[in-house]
Structure 1
Amino acid sequence: MLWALAGVSLPAMGQESAVSCLILPWETIELAAPTEGIVTAIHAERGETVAEGQLLVQLNDALQRAYLATVSARAGDESALRQAQVRVNFTQSAVERNRPLFNAKLMTADEWEQVLGSHEIALIEVEAARAALDQARLEVDRAEVALAQTRITAPADAVVLERLSSVGEAAGGEPVMRLVVIDRLRVELFVSAESHQRWTNGRTVEILARFPSEARHTATVTAVDPVSDAGTGILRVQLALDNSDRQILAGQQCGLAETAAP
């Protein structure tokens, strides 16, 4: 844990000193397959820069494609609905044609009820056909989601840190690739708890990085732990450090140089 590094002593620099300072990737992302399947293709290797939404790993999708084709055909088949509508038109005509006969008492009540019942059944069949089409369209949405889950894409602009799977291996649950976001870096600063009132969100400070060359960089406080470590009297502060040019090496110790803004 990072707390274990709080015992590392770095030289005090400037107006304030840090017990320990680390520059880390802003985020480490472990990509796992959302569904079980066999890896059929890997589209990125270690060290490659990937863009948000870029396809990284493809799972076998033959079953999902077949299911999508089946439900799409069902959702596009309106023959049952058209047949039910024809039956409604036919029974409606029968009602209109037989109403004068019933009113003139030339048709028995049972015969009239049979005509009305046939029309009501036809109306129900139209509703059932429409409901079946709606259900089929929902199945299409479900099939599209299932197909999309066979494509593992980058959730953010990042760099591939490690490939954890190979073509032909089974995926599902375990990470298949590890990414790091380094366009912005996370600085973990461990300071004396006595200075907690000086650390507020939005404050900017100068961080001294040693690689690739010793230089100062402005970082902004994004979070301050509400609790310090009782045993060491150390408080952890998180800062954001711009690294859009990717020149600052993540994974190095750093130092607190001086306050850039009060």
Structure 2
Amino acid sequence: MRRNRKFISAQTGICLVAVIATSAPVAASQGVFECLISPYQTVEVRSPTDGLLDKILVKRGDRVEEGQTLVVLESSVEKSAVKIAKYRAQMNGRIQSSKSRLELAKKNLSRIEVLLQKNMISAQIADEADAQMRIAEAELHDALENQELAKYDYLHAVDLLNQRTLRSPLAGVVVDRMLNPGDLAESGTGPRPILKLAQIDPLLVEVALPLEAYGKLQVGMTGTVTPEGGLGSHAASVTIVDSVFDAASGMFGVRLEILNQNGLIPGGVRCQVVFPALQAVAANPQMHERTVQSASP
């Protein structure tokens, strides 16, 4: 999966041009600035391994929750491997036989030690019995290690099987579905993704402001955002104030976040934002003049 966040700090020129192109000088003179609402983040859902698509459980426009199953790849081979690995991890025959041999070797050594104390056998026989017991102990230890290794093989097989099920990394909406059941899902960034998701709670609001407003906005301040389409006005908080200006326009970018728990506000729409902290600045004729020049083609 590849995440693609539209941070204005990473795409300052593009975002500023998009916002400045829609700026209205008259609105700026009244303390209202043009802005753009975009998803908080977009994610391309890709398969970590090659495989045939068995099921795609969502379609474009569906809402998804974090952790929800989205795609299932054909996984008969992986399921068989899990069953085999699980059976091996539960095998106890070798362990039981090793325990029995060790118990017998200990009893044999105990009897020989009694006979050795009475000088009825040689020390060589006692040494051989001690060696047999140590060999039995090593065999039991080896059997236990093999069972532990089999358990790890089982976990590895389960992990490979889990890779055949793709789940949503976020709560949001399905923006697009590029593949269908029966198509081949390929790993890597080159092939087409299976799905494209967007997180729309919260939403990002990008706005370009003139030089005169710089230093008057800080992270944590609020603004009132009004999307197009009669979707009402909403409070938004400033999360980023750029320290690098766009040289062509003389403006800088500001990012806000707006809560969208009910999902009524769509991403990708234009909006207007009013900052209470800039009401006095908006009446400044110099700011109005710069905004007019920046918005001019």
- In structure 1, distance between residues paired with 2:32 and 2:278: 16
- In structure 1, distance between residues paired with 2:135 and 2:216: 77
AA in 1 matched with 2:260? N
1:232 matched residue in structure 2: 249
Cα deviation for residue 234 of structure 1 reads: 2.3
- In structure 2, distance between residues paired with 1:4 and 1:259: 24
AA in 1 matched with 2:46? A
- In structure 2, distance between residues paired with 1:15 and 1:200: 21
* SS in structure 2 at match of 1:198: coil
2:287 matched residue in structure 1: none
1:58 matched residue in structure 2: 72
Identity %: 27
Residues 19, 206 of structure 2: 8 Å contact kept: no
2:129 matched residue in structure 1: 115
Query: 1:62-105, CA deviations, whole angstroms, 9 ceiling, x for partnerless residues?
Result: 11111110110001111111111111100000110100222333
Superposition pairs of residues 29-44 of structure 1, within 5 angstroms: 29-44=43-58
2:265 matched residue in structure 1: 248
Cα deviation for residue 3 of structure 1 reads: 3.7
Instruction: Give the length in aligned residue pairs.
Output: 260
Unaligned runs of 5+ in 1: none
Superposition pairs of residues 167-246 of structure 1, within 5 angstroms: 167-171=181-185, 172-173=187-188, 174=191, 175-211=193-229, 213=230, 215-246=232-263
2:15 matched residue in structure 1: 2
TM-score, with normalisation over the residues of structure 2?
0.81
TM-score, with normalisation over the residues of structure 1?
0.91
Correspondence for 2:117 among 103, 111, 136: 103
Residues 50, 157 of structure 1: 8 Å contact kept: yes
Cα deviation for residue 17 of structure 1 reads: 5.0
Sort the Cα spacing of 1:214 and 1:69 in 2 relative to 1 into closer, same or farther, 3 A: closer
Q: Aligned-residue CA RMSD in angstroms?
A: 2.1
Correspondence for 1:26 among 30, 33, 40: 40
- In structure 2, distance between residues paired with 1:89 and 1:260: 84
Sort the Cα spacing of 1:65 and 1:142 in 2 relative to 1 into closer, same or farther, 3 A: same
Superposition pairs of residues 42-191 of structure 1, within 5 angstroms: 42-171=56-185, 172-173=187-188, 174=191, 175-191=193-209
AA in 2 matched with 1:43? L
- In structure 2, distance between residues paired with 1:134 and 1:228: 60
Query: 1:183-240, CA deviations, whole angstroms, 9 ceiling, x for partnerless residues?
Result: 32111122224423222221110112112x1632211112223322334322222111
More strand by share: 1
Residues 202, 220 of structure 1: 8 Å contact kept: yes
Residues 222, 275 of structure 2: 8 Å contact kept: no
Cα deviation for residue 251 of structure 1 reads: 0.6
